[in-house]
Chain A
């Protein structure tokens, strides 16, 4: 059978940069929306408008990174919205206007997010409760705890330095003021992309695709899945810091974020159930969603329509993923 070796066509050369499967549509939609924004709003005629958009979108995009990890490994994290609220309320209470407290409250907030993620992950992987249920339960637990603790109206206040990350920026020649949140977002994007290229990142996707294959291959399936929840909880904590700075303290700050972020991730072509999709596309989905809401706003369409739009998007995106693509595939067949 030596003749067979000659016909092997596996190319080892091509590590070209290419878009992960399912990324192209969301980027196309995003491009259309950005152009539409430029035509609609005068603010978008210069970079500052887009920077403002990025700043608004940063919390959702960061949440999308965390949600992506969970979804691509085959789960859901519904607890992020109430986790964001809880974090903001806790931070306000702990800081209570005291600048000096900021230094330890921020790490505490991040740790709390990671802890909630760890609890979600351990219950999901060790007690074998579906993550949908675990995180739904966590959503309710956090909601109730926040209400109990605050009696409906949060007390305390965030310090100026806490709010700086979400609110302010620094001056850069040519483009004007660059928001801190955009800088933070950029750093997280790079980190997420590098993580997904590494061994653990690839395991995360492989587990979402076929966890038996990973287990039989000697992988720590439970540990990696738990890590995804920890990262999601941490991303919620970071988003809370940004939102707290940007929007201030309220007991409604995280309302509905869990559904918004899942919509964003699905819009990015990440398949529910796991195993397919890229983290960049998930973030692009989040940005697309924010761009769409900005456009609707500019067009004078009521904000009340946002959840309707979200609902239509999530159904359409999943329908596209399951029907559109599979039809396309079968027609093409296998080689």
Chain B
């Protein structure tokens, strides 16, 4: 049964009632999905909606807890990606899995090279590769070229050919334009259309609404692991799609906002700031306010945070801290001038996991400041104020829960009394109670006069916490919104929807 009557044929792949839990948390509930030959089926939803999980189930990476997978009307279960490949389903990951120092052909047949008399049959491998490239209409790539000599867009072609080389009839593509520059996207469009014409069924996972409308014939929207709707693309407007994707009630977790009548001094000002990732960033951060920085993954939010904190500095424009122009060249200059940066990767970049709570809380003080350049610190009081739950100050931080680890991260920055606090995904991977504590802590700091820039992929959180929201799209600021904007307004700016409407 076709959902819409777009095609009379039976779907190549049919998922019914798919459910999946990770350590007790349901990430997918009763999701259906049909893929037809020669059709691009877009899968959209917010971060964490379950898109990746669904795709990985289709590709045999994960096994569903409930539900049925049918291929050509026959029920199948994929124990591994190899099993899915054998059934004709391949996945093209967001990140390329290519070996730069091997040729195109070697990459495509990696691990299953044709063999003749005990030796790799290079001739056949290259001929087969040339055949596949030809079939796709890609004439610019030689099978013998080393992959690292190819531009990114052509490397992606190699990824796709690699996926097709297992006689795939179904191709799942995860954010395929994420790695591409603007002018390369057009090449990908062409390629996707050619794949369609050749009868491949494509599952297209993307954040970018423009691509979804340009390429797909059908759209499935997921939200919080559930199927919201599945409609033909032409029956949907971009407005409606955005509303389907968001529209969750705001939870009453957030502390009161700052008094809009009493803005503080400008602590951080960026004027025309940019580097290779972001451009023309104009932004003012005042003492006492929390400014939310919204945008999709890859829009440049974290790049702005990393530039302000000196990890990947700005190369253009000016940065002013407390009214004085400064050049932030390294984390050290940023830290010593009062900028704190809570990274999104708590374990990889934030904490020395095998060290004690005390050593981590003192890490920035010791690392960036001399012994006598800061006043005395009451460490016990500091740890109490961020409500760290630990057996003692000697406990290693890796033994703490995610929430308590994050509180230690906050403590290490509070120990140097920053004027500007940049927090990237401050509540990622922590439980609701700890989230609320983090919200209260951030708001409390703002009240004490800290200027806070907050990044979060959870829109309700970002909207609930921010006194203003700045939205980024493709490395630039797409717009600014006052306190409490609707999710639709943020998503519209973030997806570039408004830009196109204009």
Beyond A209-B355, A213-B352, A214-B352, whether A14 also contacts B392 by CB under 8 A is: yes
Task: Report the stretch among B4-12, B239-247, B365-373 that lies at the interface.
Answer: B365-373
Q: Which of A199, A206, A220, A334 contacts B352 (CB 8 A)?
A: A206
Contact A7 B353 (CB under 8 A): no
Contact A9 B367 (CB under 8 A): no
Shortest distance from the beta carbon of B117 to any chain A beta carbon, whole Å: 40
Which of A205, A219, A220 is packed against the most chain B CB atoms within 10 Å? A219
Contact B354 A10 (CB under 8 A): no
Q: Is residue A276 within 8 Å, beta carbon to beta carbon, of the partner chain?
A: yes
Contact A214 B389 (CB under 8 A): no
Shortest distance from the beta carbon of B422 to any chain A beta carbon, whole Å: 11
Q: Is residue B336 within 8 Å, beta carbon to beta carbon, of the partner chain?
A: yes
Q: Is residue A212 within 8 Å, beta carbon to beta carbon, of the partner chain?
A: yes
Instruction: Enumerate chain A residues within 8 angstroms of B84, measured Cβ to Cβ.
Output: none
Which of A1, A5, A220, A334 is packed against the most chain B CB atoms within 10 Å? A1
A203 to B332, CA, bound (A): 14
A18 to B350, CA, bound (A): 27
Interface of chain A residues 78 through 113 with chain B (CB within 8 A): none
Contact B355 A205 (CB under 8 A): yes
Shortest distance from the beta carbon of A300 to any chain B beta carbon, whole Å: 43
Contact B363 A206 (CB under 8 A): yes
A129-167 vs B, CB cutoff 8 Å, 1 = contact: the mask equals 000000000000000000000000000000000000000
Task: Report the stretch among B143-151, B190-198, B223-231, B377-385 that lies at the interface.
Answer: B377-385
Q: Which of A1, A203, A209 contacts B366 (CB 8 A)?
A: A203
Query: Closest residue to A335 on the B side, CB-wise?
Result: B399
Q: Is residue B390 within 8 Å, beta carbon to beta carbon, of the partner chain?
A: yes
User: Main secondary structure on chain A at its contact with chain B?
Assistant: loop
Query: Closest residue to B341 on the A side, CB-wise?
Result: A216
Instruction: Enumerate chain A residues within 8 angstroms of B433, measured Cβ to Cβ.
Output: 4
Instruction: Enumerate chain A residues within 8 angstroms of B391, measured Cβ to Cβ.
Output: 9, 335
Beyond A10-B357, A12-B393, A219-B367, whether A1 also contacts B331 by CB under 8 A is: no
Instruction: Enumerate chain A residues within 8 angstroms of B366, measured Cβ to Cβ.
Output: 199-200, 202-203, 219
Q: Is residue A275 within 8 Å, beta carbon to beta carbon, of the partner chain?
A: yes
A276 to B356, CA, bound (A): 11
Interface of chain A residues 1 through 17 with chain B (CB within 8 A): 1, 4-5, 7-14
Interface of chain B residues 318 through 352 with chain A (CB within 8 A): 331-332, 334-336, 341, 343, 348-352
Which of B331, B353, B379 is packed against the most chain A CB atoms within 10 Å? B331
Contact B389 A8 (CB under 8 A): yes
Q: Is residue A217 within 8 Å, beta carbon to beta carbon, of the partner chain?
A: yes
Q: Is residue A215 within 8 Å, beta carbon to beta carbon, of the partner chain?
A: yes
Contact B354 A4 (CB under 8 A): no
Q: Is residue B476 within 8 Å, beta carbon to beta carbon, of the partner chain?
A: no
Beyond A206-B355, A213-B352, whether A220 also contacts B363 by CB under 8 A is: no
Contact A212 B364 (CB under 8 A): no
A219 to B349, CA, bound (A): 13
Q: Is residue B282 within 8 Å, beta carbon to beta carbon, of the partner chain?
A: no
Q: Is residue A218 within 8 Å, beta carbon to beta carbon, of the partner chain?
A: yes
Shortest distance from the beta carbon of B345 to any chain A beta carbon, whole Å: 9
A263-278 vs B, CB cutoff 8 Å, 1 = contact: the mask equals 0000000000001100
Contact B440 A218 (CB under 8 A): no
A202 to B366, CA, bound (A): 8
A18 to B334, CA, bound (A): 37
Query: Closest residue to A12 on the B side, CB-wise?
Result: B380
A7 to B404, CA, bound (A): 13
User: Main secondary structure on chain B at its contact with chain A?
Assistant: helix
Contact A217 B368 (CB under 8 A): yes
In the complex, how many residues of chain B place their beta carbon closer than 8 angstroms to a beta carbon of chain A? 51
A218 to B412, CA, bound (A): 12
Which of B363, B388, B399, B440 is packed against the most chain A CB atoms within 10 Å? B363
Interface of chain A residues 178 through 207 with chain B (CB within 8 A): 199-200, 202-203, 205-206
Q: Is residue B132 within 8 Å, beta carbon to beta carbon, of the partner chain?
A: no
Q: Is residue B289 within 8 Å, beta carbon to beta carbon, of the partner chain?
A: no
Contact B388 A8 (CB under 8 A): yes
Contact B368 A219 (CB under 8 A): yes
Query: Closest residue to A13 on the B side, CB-wise?
Result: B380
A315 to B183, CA, bound (A): 55
Query: Closest residue to B334 on the A side, CB-wise?
Result: A218
Q: Is residue B311 within 8 Å, beta carbon to beta carbon, of the partner chain?
A: yes
Instruction: Enumerate chain B residues within 8 angstroms of A12, measured Cβ to Cβ.
Output: 379-381, 383, 393
Contact B363 A217 (CB under 8 A): yes
A205 to B354, CA, bound (A): 9
Q: Which of B335, B355, B371, B379 contacts A217 (CB 8 A)?
A: B335
Query: Closest residue to A18 on the B side, CB-wise?
Result: B394
Contact B354 A275 (CB under 8 A): yes
Instruction: Enumerate chain B residues within 8 angstroms of A322, measured Cβ to Cβ.
Output: none
Shortest distance from the beta carbon of A41 to any chain B beta carbon, whole Å: 40
Contact A213 B350 (CB under 8 A): yes
Q: Is residue A45 within 8 Å, beta carbon to beta carbon, of the partner chain?
A: no
Contact A4 B387 (CB under 8 A): yes
Instruction: Enumerate chain B residues within 8 angstroms of A217, measured Cβ to Cβ.
Output: 331, 335, 363-364, 367-368, 412
A334 to B343, CA, bound (A): 24
Contact A8 B363 (CB under 8 A): no
Q: Is residue B362 within 8 Å, beta carbon to beta carbon, of the partner chain?
A: yes
Instruction: Enumerate chain B residues within 8 angstroms of A212, measured Cβ to Cβ.
Output: 348-349
Contact B331 A216 (CB under 8 A): yes
Contact B384 A275 (CB under 8 A): no
Instruction: Enumerate chain A residues within 8 angstroms of B177, measured Cβ to Cβ.
Output: none
Q: Is residue B142 within 8 Å, beta carbon to beta carbon, of the partner chain?
A: no
A219 to B353, CA, bound (A): 17
A56 to B268, CA, bound (A): 61
Query: Closest residue to A332 on the B side, CB-wise?
Result: B399
Q: Is residue A297 within 8 Å, beta carbon to beta carbon, of the partner chain?
A: no
Query: Closest residue to B416 on the A side, CB-wise?
Result: A218
Contact A8 B343 (CB under 8 A): no
Shortest distance from the beta carbon of B365 to any chain A beta carbon, whole Å: 8
Q: Which of A4, A11, A206 contacts B437 (CB 8 A)?
A: A4
6 closest Cβ pairs, A-B complex: A12-B380, A218-B368, A219-B367, A218-B335, A209-B352, A199-B366
Residues in B lying within 8 Å of A, measured CB to CB: 309, 311, 331-332, 334-336, 341, 343, 348-355, 357, 359-360, 362-369, 371, 379-381, 383-384, 387-394, 398-401, 412, 433, 436-437, 440
- Supply 28 A–B pairs (Cβ within 8 Å), ascending by A: A1-B436, A4-B437, A8-B383, A8-B384, A8-B388, A9-B389, A10-B384, A10-B389, A10-B392, A11-B380, A11-B393, A202-B362, A202-B366, A209-B354, A210-B349, A210-B351, A213-B363, A214-B367, A216-B341, A217-B412, A218-B331, A218-B335, A219-B332, A220-B367, A275-B354, A276-B354, A334-B398, A335-B399
Residues in A lying within 8 Å of B, measured CB to CB: 1, 4-5, 7-14, 18, 199-200, 202-203, 205-206, 209-210, 212-220, 275-276, 334-335
